[in-house]
């Protein structure tokens, strides 16, 4: 039975909240990972293409790939199929409940438990990874109070020459800039079908949210740990490209 999704239902999720949603009756595979269907349904092939463009080692062969916070929608399924066909070794990290919704495959290993607590287990099994993907996850580690530990542990698992994409970062400062602009007002009118002006929230507190300061501190943190780090835009046309951005980290 399909249950009605209440506005704001997905706003305050943390690791435990996702664990519960993984087994809740009546949610779609997109709702289980915190998105209304319209944000992901039909868009995940384009999202995966953008991820591959930013992590070109995925299109090679025989790499060690780690997806932290894999979720259960079409995106990790695309990654699994892709990695199996390219002879990569793929490690998926998420809760046991979420991982149970994903298929197994040749060279695919599942690491149940919250990251970074699962990091030692992953490192012992894999060594270091050539590619790390962490898509639409970092905001929840902030809510859990583990952002810095999470990023430090992921950086330790990244091999020399490897790349890590911390993707789909909902930067509230970027969102405010967008909705205060003519393009943002136009977008809001088309989206709402009305003529009202969006509430950009300029001047409102950004406490507890990912904002410019958090993004830039992450870059500084990765750089101080010996990696190059860049903020990169999402491909035009992705559902949240106007208010989300990606962080690309490369170990020299």
Task: Count the neighbouring beta carbons within 10 Å of the beta carbon of residue 61.
Answer: 9
CA distance 238 to 47: 7
CA distance 237 to 225: 33
Of 50, 89, 90, 95, the one binding ligand SAM (CB under 6 A) is 95
Q: Is 59 helix (H, G, I), strand (E, B) or coil?
A: helix
Distance between alpha carbon 238 and the CA centroid of its chain, in Å?
14
Closest contact distance (angstroms) between CB of 42 and ligand SAM is 14
Distances (CA, A) of 172 to 18, 209, 244: 22, 7, 8
- Residue 93 is a binding residue for ligand SAM (CB under 6 A): yes
Q: Read off φ and ψ for residue 121, nearest 5 degrees.
A: -60, -45
Name the residue nearer to ligand SAM (CB basis): 71 or 162. 71
> CB under 6 A: which stretch of 69-77, 124-132, 153-161, 229-237 binds ligand SAM?
69-77
Restricted to residues 191-250, the positions that interact with ligand SAM (CB under 6 A) are: none
Distance between alpha carbon 187 and the CA centroid of its chain, in Å?
24
Of 80, 90, 108, 115, the one binding ligand SAM (CB under 6 A) is 115
Q: How many residues bind ligand SAM (CB under 6 A)?
A: 22
CA distance 164 to 66: 9
State how beta strands 64-68 and 129-135 pair. parallel
Restricted to residues 138-177, the positions that interact with ligand SAM (CB under 6 A) are: 140-141, 150
Restricted to residues 28-67, the positions that interact with ligand SAM (CB under 6 A) are: 33-34
Name the residue nearer to ligand SAM (CB basis): 184 or 239. 239
Name the residue nearer to ligand SAM (CB basis): 115 or 179. 115
Of 50, 122, 136, 173, the one binding ligand SAM (CB under 6 A) is 136
Closest contact distance (angstroms) between CB of 135 and ligand SAM is 4
CA distance 103 to 144: 28
Q: Which residues contact ligand SAM (rule: CB under 6 A)?
A: 15, 18, 33-34, 68-71, 73, 75, 93-95, 98, 114-115, 135-137, 140-141, 150
């Amino acid at each position: 039975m399909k249950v009605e999704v209440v506005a704001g239902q997905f706003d305050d999720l943390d690791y435990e909240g996702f664990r519960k949603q993984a087994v809740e009756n009546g949610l779609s595979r997109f709702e289980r990972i915190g998105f209304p269907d319209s944000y992901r349904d039909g868009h995940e092939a384009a999202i995966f293409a953008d991820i591959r463009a930013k992590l070109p080692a995925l299109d090679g062969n025989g790499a060690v790939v780690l997806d932290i916070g894999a979720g259960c929608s079409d995106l990790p399924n695309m990654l699994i199929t892709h990695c199996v066909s390219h002879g990569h070794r793929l490690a998926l990290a998420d809760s046991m409940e979420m991982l149970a919704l994903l298929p197994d495959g040749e060279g695919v290993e599942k690491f149940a438990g919250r990251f970074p607590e699962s990091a030692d287990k992953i490192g012992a099994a894999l060594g270091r990874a050539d590619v790390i993907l962490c898509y639409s996850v970092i905001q929840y580690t902030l809510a859990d109070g583990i952002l810095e530990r999470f990023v430090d542990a992921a950086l330790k698992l990244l091999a020399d020459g490897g790349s890590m994409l911390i993707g789909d970062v909902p930067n509230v400062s970027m969102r405010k800039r967008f909705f205060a602009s003519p393009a943002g007002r136009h977008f809001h009118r088309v989206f709402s079908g009305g003529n009202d002006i969006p509430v950009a929230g300029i001047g409102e507190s950004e406490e507890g949210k990912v904002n410019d300061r958090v993004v830039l501190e992450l870059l500084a943190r990765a750089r101080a740990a010996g990696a190059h780090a860049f903020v990169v835009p999402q491909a035009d046309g992705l559902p949240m490209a106007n208010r989300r951005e990606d962080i690309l980290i490369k170990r020299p």
